[in-house]
Amino acid sequence: MLDLFAIITKGGIVLWKTSDSAACQKCLQVLFYEAFLSERKNMETTFHQDRFTIQFQESIQNGIVFAVAFQDAKAEAFTQSLLNSMHNIFINLYQEQLKNKDFPSEDDIIRNFVPLYNAKLSQLSKVSDKENLTSNEVNRQEKNKALPRQQPRQKMHTSKQAPSTSKKGKKELRRWDDQLTNEEEEALNYSGNVSNEVPSSSQLSNVVGDTNFQKTKKGEVVIGDLETDPNQNSATTSSSAFSFFSGLIGGKYLKEEDLDPVLKKVQEHIVQKNVANSISLELCKSVKKSLIGKKVSSFESVKQTVNDAFRETLTQILTPSTSLDLLHSIRAVQKNEDRPYTISLIGVNGVGKSTTLAKLAYWLLSNNFRILVAACDTFRSGAIEQLGVHVKNLQSLKGSSIELFAQGYGKDSSFVVKNAVDYAKKNSFDVILIDTAGRRHNDQRLMGSLEKFTKATKLDKIFQVAEALVGTDSLAQAKHFQASLYHRPLDGFIISKVDTVGKMVGVMVGMVYSVRVPIVFVGVGQMYSDLRTLSVDWVVDQLIK
């Protein structure tokens, strides 16, 4: 009748619950995100999730929430009484501990609270069943009065049909709802059947690829630049890109009226490369300003002058103003602060945060760092298992220098990241790579929770993972994520799926220009080695082709 009773803290710690089923776990996730993480005012204490009705009662002073979830409508008759009683019993039972901001252990709750809970549940269930029986009996009597008296004919009809029914057996009725039986749920649950087999060498070769890493004289393994196309002819590129300027005559001083129609065509050209319209206008305005009043001797010098002006402007935008040497930063923290270096990846859903995290881990493991992967996406189903697969692959490739830290679903990610940092300190990990839940940039509730997460512990780097495919909407994403980190700026972008866009690389220019945050790495494939640093020359070449 009652599917779940749970006692949880507002910080996301489950003190005790009656069920560990996936459906009930989902109810707790929804309760936590909808009622508390969103910090909604006047939140209803009863709401629905799929086929479940969820009710909760909060002890505001103690920061504890009592919740029930049920499918049977009969349970609704006593759930509020159960919540009231259990709230009072629990608070009275652990009054001294709660005054000291201390929560009882699960063993303590099972030993002292659970017997009282079972007794109260049994009492309320019996009362509810009795009331239902009485109500059903009254309904049956009323129905019998309304039915015409044809009992003898019905009996004859039933007795004739009985033999044939017994031969065929009882027919299983078709269910038209979307509810699953316990057997069906068990058949669909793959989380407990994860293979412990070590990946074969052929499987591992499919996730590593051809490495582009380079070794320095100091022995550090660094990531190579995104290279220009070796088959590209620079003369051809320049000619095709700046054919717009063929109407300009050499041997004169360039004027605004000479440049306006030509720069209009250039602006349309780079918009087609996914540069946002507003940014393309700013680029052309900057180039025009640098060209007005310049004397050019020939058409060729016009092309070269414009080429140089565009390169200079784009280089100023894309060149970072701070050092992007992660290896140096990590070693500095190791030497001076003796703590793990923390890197968090944030971004919208589906941009490739988990895969990008695995690529970073592969590179850092190549530099002999001990890596702890913190699974702080406690909302998306399968997120922890996905990280587990990556970690298992990396352990097979690089040994035991990497480990996964996970505390299950439904937990407050701020709570998980704090515990991960404590665990990393105790076990001498060098770097913590933190995976987070994907969130839409225009969802104020989820973006608000991001600020809380980033304040939970000291994060050395916060990188936003964005995909090159998204187009000019990337500008809005970058601005919203930057604005959500009120206490600090983003440290950089990692642009994924760059290999899928060809020459349409304008997204990179737009994101950097809009929030003045550098691009740290770009992803060029699904392999662990498919990570590159950004080559400004390469981006410029793609834009002016």
Instruction: Please state the rounded mean pLDDT for residues 400-414.
Output: 89
Q: What average pLDDT is seen over the chain? A: 77
What CATH code is assigned to 4-131?
3.30.450.70
The reported pTM is 0.60
Second-level CATH architecture of 326-544: 3-Layer(aba) Sandwich (3.40)
Q: What digits encode the pLDDT tens for the residues 260-313?
A: 887 888 888 888 888 888 888 888 888 888 888 877 666 556 667 777 787 888
Is a pLDDT exceeding 80 seen at residue 381? Answer: yes
Q: What is the DSSP letter of 16?
A: E
Whether the CB-CB separation of 525 and 499 falls below 8 Å is answered with: yes
Measured CA to CA, the distance from residue 233 to residue 164 in angstroms comes to 86
pLDDT for residue 27:
83
Instruction: Please state the rounded mean pLDDT for residues 423-445.
Output: 84
Q: Encoding tokens for residue 241?
A: 């890109």
Is a pLDDT exceeding 60 seen at residue 242? Answer: no
Higher-scoring residue by pLDDT: 458, 211: 458
Q: Where are the domains of the chain?
A: 4-131, 252-318, 326-544
DSSP string, 114-143: HHHHHHHHHHHHHHHHHHHHHHHHHHHHHH
Q: How confident is the model at residue 159 (pLDDT cuts 50, 70, 90)?
A: very low
Q: What does DSSP say about strands 431-436 and 341-346: parallel, antiparallel, or unpaired?
A: parallel
Instruction: Please state the rounded mean pLDDT for residues 443-465.
Output: 79
DSSP string, 456-518: SS--SEEEEEEEGGGTTHHHHHHHHHHHH-TTS---EEEEE-GGGSTT--HHHHHHHHHH---
Whether the CB-CB separation of 32 and 14 falls below 8 Å is answered with: no
Higher-scoring residue by pLDDT: 23, 360: 360
Q: Encoding tokens for residue 471?
A: 């187009």
Is a pLDDT exceeding 80 seen at residue 130? Answer: no
Whether the CB-CB separation of 404 and 6 falls below 8 Å is answered with: no
Instruction: Please state the rounded mean pLDDT for residues 118-132.
Output: 73
User: What is the 3-state composition of the chain as percent helix, strand, coil, each rounded to the nearest 5?
Assistant: 50, 15, 30
pLDDT for residue 82:
86
Whether the CB-CB separation of 351 and 481 falls below 8 Å is answered with: no
Measured CA to CA, the distance from residue 342 to residue 347 in angstroms comes to 17
Is a pLDDT exceeding 60 seen at residue 396? Answer: yes
